Structure 1
Amino acid sequence: MKHIQHQWRVTKYNPDNRDEHGHYTLVEDWTSPYEIGKIFDGNELTLDDYLRVETSYLDAAMAFMEESGIHSVRILGLEEHITEEDRASVLYENDFERFVLKGDSLIGLDDVRLVMKMVLRDFIWCQLYSDDRLFIHFGTDYYMYIGSHVDCPSAIEWAATHGLFVENKPSPYRISEEEIIWEIGWNALKDESKILVGEEGVTGIPLDECRRIFCLSAGHPVTGAFEIPFEEKDFFQRFLEHKMDFDLYEYRLRGGN
């Protein structure tokens, strides 16, 4: 993503309501769909109110994609945490069941909208990216960050006329290749909690080889967590002082910052 020169924070939060430190504290506002039915600034957040804002986010993201010339994106860092309680929610749709989620998969425009909706409703988490041309990140408290290889004045104008605020702010979730830190961690083999009992930083690992081992696309930055198979023990052992023992531990390569 070295060539993404333009980055924006796109939200429902008016910058005029931020304090001198940039914190949104001057007006009480909702930050999650789970707050539907609660009172904010004297008004109840209704389901219709929420869906109206959500649609603006989705449409804005699609507008940035269109102006950037992007017709598909990859799913990065997928985390699924859908519970039976989630499935009983009024916000859970039948279409969520038909869609098979898979990290690093390439998805088209129709599925992009569906995935973003699931992220905004806190059913999953992931990032969307298109090599060095575009990314869409969703942060906590209903923040959306978009980066593009081109300026997007039409998308910015569209968002502004539909109740959103677009600010020139870099995404705190974007990591350049130079900033990525790789570590190998291990937990006891029979420990269901997966609590690490050891961790060691690693350098010099050929990323193309990691992409092959973990079946990642050529443009994947190798961020996230990947279980190391026993068959690749000799390869990863070259970068570790710790002597790997698959009879006692499970091992994962983690890339992040």
Structure 2
Amino acid sequence: MLEFRVTKYNPALRAENGAYLGDDWTAFSDIGETFNGVVLTNEEYERVERAYVMTALTFLQDCGVSSLTVSGLENHFETPLAPANGEQLSLPRIATTLSSLLREDFWCRLEGPDAFIHIGWDYYMYIGVPHASLAAEQLASNSGLFVEPFESPYKEDGEESDDSAA
């Protein structure tokens, strides 16, 4: 399995240890705040959120993945529309779930035998798929996102990965 980190953070602005050095928003709750002299609007937030969701769906579609299963659900805010642990989600439900995950409504891993999507802190998305997707990478790039080979830090202990992406 190939693993990628998908973010809005330009890798050129990372320190040697990988820390992002830019002044940028990291959460839905940052709407209305100013970063690099620009106010984060709801419209800009939604544009970026859509880019993340569409990039993830394109990776899945290009790899023939039509569903993922919810694992490790944490619903501390008791979000009523959160999926259940073990629930299998179709692509449309994956899209709405990803939006909720990016907005920190709840947290879970979306996993399958050949693919996964993990949403991390500070608007980081990790995707594992059987093969690369030029269409997903191009969509991400056109939307201002960056796709980098990177192993997900949210895998369960014992999960294997193919180091060829790292």
1:167 pairs, out of 145, 148, 153, with: 148
Of the structure 1 ranges 166-175 and 118-127, higher mean CA displacement relative to structure 2 is found in: 166-175
Correspondent of 2:92 among 97, 100, 110: 110
Post-superposition offset of 1:107: 1.2
Which ranges of 4 or more aligned residues in structure 1 deviate by more than 4 Å? none
**Cα distance change on mapping 1:176 and 1:81 into 2, 3 Å:** closer
CA separation of 1:102 and 1:21: change in aligned 2, threshold 3 A: same
Check whether the contact 2:3–2:126 (CA below 8 A) recurs between aligned residues. Answer: yes
Q: Distance in 2 between matches of 1:13 and 1:71?
A: 28
Matched, 1:8 2:4: yes
* Structure 1 partner of 2:60: 65
Deviations 1:25-81 (A, max 9, x none): 1x2000111111011010101111111100000000000010110111100111112
- Structure 1 residue runs of 5 or longer lacking an equivalent are 84-95, 180-257
Secondary structure of 1:110's match?
helix
2:15 pairs with 1:19: yes
Distance 1:80 1:163 in 2: 30
Distance 1:113 1:123 in 2: 14
Gap change, CA 1:51 and 1:178, over 3 Å in 2: closer
Match of 1:128 in 2: 110
Partner of 2:71: 76
Separation in structure 1 between the aligned mates of residue 136 and residue 49 of structure 2, nearest angstrom: 16
Q: Percent identity?
A: 39
Distance (Å, rounded) in 1 between the aligned partners of 2:126 and 2:76? 22
Q: Is the 8 A contact 2:63 2:129 kept in 1?
A: yes
**Counterpart of 1:32?**
27
Which amino acid is the alignment partner of residue 120 of structure 1?
A: L
Q: Please give the root-mean-square deviation of Cα atoms over the aligned residues, in Å.
A: 1.6
Which of 1 and 2 has greater Rg? 1
Letter in 2 for 1:167: E
Question: How many residues were matched structurally?
Answer: 160
Alpha-carbon separation, structure 2, partners of 1:123 and 1:78: 11
C-alpha deviation, 1:100, in angstroms: 5.8
Structure 2 residue runs of 5 or longer lacking an equivalent are 161-166
Alpha-carbon shift at residue 174 of structure 1 (Å): 1.6
Supply the distance in 1 between the matched residues of 2:89 and 2:58 (Cα, whole angstroms).
17
Work out which structure has the larger RCO, using CA pairs closer than 8 Å and 6 or more positions apart in sequence.
2
The aligned amino acid for 2:30 is E
Q: 1:8 is paired with a residue of what secondary structure? A: strand
